[in-house]
Structure 1
Amino acid sequence: MKFIDLFSGCGGLSLGLLNAGYTGLFAVERSADAFSTLKRNLIDQEFVGLNGRFDWPNALECRNHDILALLDDPEASRYLDSLGNSGEVDLVAGGPPCQGFSSAGKRDPDDPRNQLAFAYLEIVRRVKPKFILMENVRGITQTFTKAGSQSLPPSEQIERALAELNYVPFHLIENSSQWGVPQARHRFVLIAIHKDQFLGSNVNGDSLQLLSTGKELATKVEAQLKVFAEEFKINKGLPPLVTASDALKDLKTLNFLGNPYKLVDVPKDDSRASGFKQIAEYAPTFCRNPAYINLMRKGWERKKCPNHGLRLPNHTVKVKKRFEKILEDIDDLNLQTRYKLARGKTLPLLYRQEVHNSRKHSLTVLDPHKPSGTVTTLPDDILHFDEPRIMTVRELARLQSFPDWFRFEGPYTTGGSLRKKTCPKYTQVGNAVPPLMAEGIGLFLKESLGRLLHIETGKIEKHETQCAQRAALI
């Protein structure tokens, strides 16, 4: 199956689809840093070969592209139209920028980033894929309110637009931990199927009928996805639930006695800033189930440590002492009762104010016995479960299910005016679709959805026959 990845970021969704045996045609990503990561790992496949690869077209320069500029380019438009005429594209995938939809943001209906979802739809209109896979935040399903009036949730607007383009759309809320990812990341996943894929059936209803068919399909697909996800984890050798400890035990800087492992300077080709350290090699694996760690190290077994992204933070003594205090308090029964402290949840405001006099909006201590919460683009949002420090890029990449050979390009962090020009490593990781979840859903679309459509085709044909018979009697 051939796919196009829109708003691809560093390539989490593409990586999953390639691992599922898909062939990529091209990817559209505005950020030069993120596209550089995708190109080096997935197009050039510099580090590890994959089950699938990109077959980049001559009509499109292999570089970062702005989707709006691409749609305005005459040569690119002709190429997109040729794909639609040939029926070459099986899947258009990707997740438009989510900041305008996120419940963590301002949820401004006029945020220009919201309109990029409709640029996505314009690509769909031109290339006419058989299937669509869109990923986004759950907030996309919520109604926007402005000046006392309400508009339709963006998800419903998108589904109605897809129905007008002859697709049967429906959406689910997927938890990435269901697919073996050590992160409870709840995401909006939209699947749309061109009506011609209902084999043998003539699904010629109007858009309202296509929307209705989609709603009927959603419940059935959701049930099958759960079964498929369990089989997927078994095939990967993964336990029912992968925890933060299962994912990170070999990336520690301290042993079980609290003594440090050997640290070395960060390579210059990973970080231009001087004075930073990283672990010298993998730590011994002491965890209940090393299956996930083994999966992340697959293809990289002979290396001493992961492919960059290991730079440790240079915390001041004051910050380190605060983190030590938090790690001490988080398991104190009295403080848990007084402040409602708990691992895996944002530190309560009262605790932050009374104990630390801190204005930090969000800080969560990992629970080693559970998947992490949602990995964000801010490096100081998550505290390690038993070391007084924030997470490295590699550790967050592990929680996102990026394998250890996958290398992130660009700076670690940025600030000021550079925020508009760069997409640092931490941001690339936080914005990505977990590759393991993407692989599982990609395999489901290839292997199981067709059987479900065949069953549904028979039901649709039967319904159409009954309608025709009733009409004949009138």
Structure 2
Amino acid sequence: MNGLSLFANVGIAETYLKDVDIDIVVANELLKDRAKFYRHLYPSCNMIQGDISDPQIYKEVIECATKEHVEFVIATPPCQGMSIAGDMNPYDERNSLVKYAIDAIVDIEPKYVILENVPQQLTTPIQYKNTEMLIPEYIKQRLGDKYIFNAEQILNTMDYEIPQMRRRAIILMVRSDIGFAWEFPTKSNNIYTLERLFKGIPDLWPLIKEKEYQDFFPENTKDALAFHKWHRPTEHVWRNVECMLYTPTGNTAFDNPVYYPKKANGEKIKGYDTTYHRLFWNKPAATITRYNGIIGSQNNVHPGREWKRDKNGDMMYTNPRVLTIYELLLVMTLPENWNIPDWASNGLIRHVIGEGIPPLLIKKIIEVMPRR
């Protein structure tokens, strides 16, 4: 079955689609570096780079999809205006980009559709025919007489043996003439924890930006650095590393009486208790965001283990750093040998991973798709 990917990022969701007989033959992505990354991963796909709201780009997408007899569409319109990790502005103009995905579905009439976004999409208003309405109501007004929708539309990836707690709004549509509803797979009671996922991965100490602290940690061993190409330490400023050095597994550095998050001038930082936060060993990872390379962003720090006590008797913990790219690949259910282009910067790699959805979840959803 031929497919179209809209707002494609670098094609993370598409990783395992060929395993379930879906061939994405046309894709569209706004940003040049992501489109280039996509072409590297999927050289046989017609990646159309450009703004979907540009009439010429939209026309090219529809013409190519029609020519290729596309019967499947997957779309993840931008969520920055809705996400709790973004602006949370219900009137952000990017929220209305979902209209172009719906226009494409109307024009192409695919048999199957996956619309994926943050849960806030279901409570976000947009304008349609001079009337403000929530996005789900807008979709039903446009497509309700042509498609059958799934009943439950919010899931948590951890319920499907994905090692990440990531709540998503996923609308599944089946064209009415097929006559079946498409629902989520059966949930699993098997929770995939970081203890299980990271078993056997060597500890890794961060790199420190300030020269005077660069010899504080033991050197990363040859075994650790030889473990995997993408298991490499990230560079952090000492004040952020220090506060995480004294933060136990599953805790936030804001709870530390002495080694709490500070500004460069030593003043205590104010912030959410989900930031400067170590992950839990006995749980899946928290949601991976595009800012996964920053200690002070949400739930980004390795769980760590007890290391040793300092001269004052305070316990210090290993791995006071964000997850490596290799660890992110595992958490996102991407292949360990994911074909990352050599030219891609660490920042780009981290951003596109954080903006993706675990592709194993998409595979599992399609495996229960009622095909005809």
- Please give the TM-score of this superposition, normalised by the length of structure 2: 0.77
- Contact 2:165-2:287 within 8 A present in 1 as well: yes
Alignment of 1:117 onto 2:98 = yes
3-state SS in 2 of match to 1:67: coil
- Contact 2:110-2:175 within 8 A present in 1 as well: yes
Alignment of 1:372 onto 2:285 = yes
Amino acid of the structure 2 residue aligned with 1:366: L
Specify which structure has the higher proportion of strand. Answer: 2
3-state SS in 1 of match to 2:199: helix
Residue 345 of structure 2, aligned match among 404, 411, 419: 411
Q: Which residue of structure 2 lines up, in the alignment, with residue 23 of structure 1? A: 23
Note closer, same or farther for the CA distance 1:125–1:134 as it changes in structure 2 (3 Å cut). same
Hey, what's the Cα distance between the residues in 2 that align with 1:384 and 1:181? 18
Alignment of 1:191 onto 2:172 = yes
Amino acid of the structure 1 residue aligned with 2:278: V
Aligned ranges 1:373-452 → 2 under 5 Å: 373-378=286-291, 379-380=293-294, 381=297, 382-386=300-304, 387-409=319-341, 410-413=344-347, 424-445=348-369, 449-450=370-371
- String of CA shifts for 1:78-136, please: whole Å, max 9, x gaps: 434545xxxx2221012111112224444333312112111111111221100111110
Question: Based on CA coordinates, which of the two structures has the bigger radius of gyration?
Answer: 1
3-state SS in 2 of match to 1:398: helix
Note closer, same or farther for the CA distance 1:100–1:323 as it changes in structure 2 (3 Å cut). same
Residue 197 of structure 2, aligned match among 206, 231, 247: 247
Hey, what's the Cα distance between the residues in 1 that align with 2:124 and 2:254? 28
Q: Which residue of structure 2 lines up, in the alignment, with residue 152 of structure 1? A: 133
- String of CA shifts for 1:239-272, please: whole Å, max 9, x gaps: 92211122223433359xx9655259xxxxxxxx
Q: Runs of 5+ in structure 1 lacking a partner?
A: 45-53, 200-216, 231-238, 265-278, 283-304, 331-342, 414-423, 452-474
Q: Which residue of structure 1 lines up, in the alignment, with residue 74 of structure 2? A: 93
Q: Which residue of structure 1 lines up, in the alignment, with residue 233 of structure 2? A: 312
Hey, what's the Cα distance between the residues in 1 that align with 2:32 and 2:79? 19
What displacement does 1:40 show? 1.9
3-state SS in 2 of match to 1:383: coil
Amino acid of the structure 1 residue aligned with 2:225: A
Amino acid of the structure 2 residue aligned with 1:323: M
Amino acid of the structure 2 residue aligned with 1:168: I
What displacement does 1:39 show? 2.3
Hey, what's the Cα distance between the residues in 2 that align with 1:142 and 1:438? 23
Hey, what's the Cα distance between the residues in 2 that align with 1:434 and 1:124? 24
What displacement does 1:193 show? 1.1
What displacement does 1:160 show? 2.7
What displacement does 1:196 show? 1.1
Note closer, same or farther for the CA distance 1:363–1:321 as it changes in structure 2 (3 Å cut). closer
Q: Which residue of structure 1 lines up, in the alignment, with residue 247 of structure 2? A: 326
Amino acid of the structure 2 residue aligned with 1:281: A
Hey, what's the Cα distance between the residues in 2 that align with 1:261 and 1:78? 53
Aligned ranges 1:186-335 → 2 under 5 Å: 186-198=167-179, 221-222=183-184, 225-226=185-186, 230=188, 240-254=190-204, 261-263=220-222, 279-282=224-227, 305-306=228-229, 308=230, 310-327=231-248
3-state SS in 1 of match to 2:334: coil
- Contact 2:204-2:233 within 8 A present in 1 as well: no
What percentage of aligned pairs have identical amino acids?
A: 20
What displacement does 1:143 show? 4.7
Which segment is superposed worse, 169-178 or 347-356?
Answer: 347-356
Which segment is superposed worse, 428-437 or 30-39?
Answer: 30-39
Q: Which residue of structure 2 lines up, in the alignment, with residue 167 of structure 1? A: 147
- Please give the TM-score of this superposition, normalised by the length of structure 1: 0.62
- Contact 2:65-2:108 within 8 A present in 1 as well: yes
Tell me the number of residue pairs that the alignment of Structure 1 and Structure 2 aligns. 328
Residue 53 of structure 2, aligned match among 64, 68, 71: 68
3-state SS in 2 of match to 1:25: strand
Hey, what's the Cα distance between the residues in 1 that align with 2:62 and 2:2? 19
